[in-house]
Structure 1
Amino acid sequence: MSLRGLADELDVTHSFIQKIENCERRLDELIFAYICLAAGIEPSQIIKKLYE
């Protein structure tokens, strides 16, 4: 998925996603969940991987 495609899916600007990607904006839990779901990934699966 492209940066613009993800932005369109989340109904935000591409610069919003770009700032997260460049660590210029904090990725909060809600946006994290929306990004995961837009990519077809269950957010809880990512969290579980962090603790393995």
Structure 2
Amino acid sequence: MPISAKRNQRFSEKHLNIDEMLMVVVGDAKVLKPQLEALNYKVIDFKL
């Protein structure tokens, strides 16, 4: 049975706290880092 977008949205709002999530971004740091910082994201550089 498919889940409707509305039901999925309600579930997300109830169970997911965006303040406790981590985001992994892969790409050109010279381009992405200033863009993410402009959105007030804390950026931590991680190099392999």
The normalised TM-score by structure 1 is: 0.30
Whichever of the two has the greater Rg, that structure is 2
The normalised TM-score by structure 2 is: 0.31
Structure with the larger RCO, 1 or 2 (CA within 8 Å, 6+ apart): 1
> Higher helix fraction: Structure 1 or Structure 2?
1
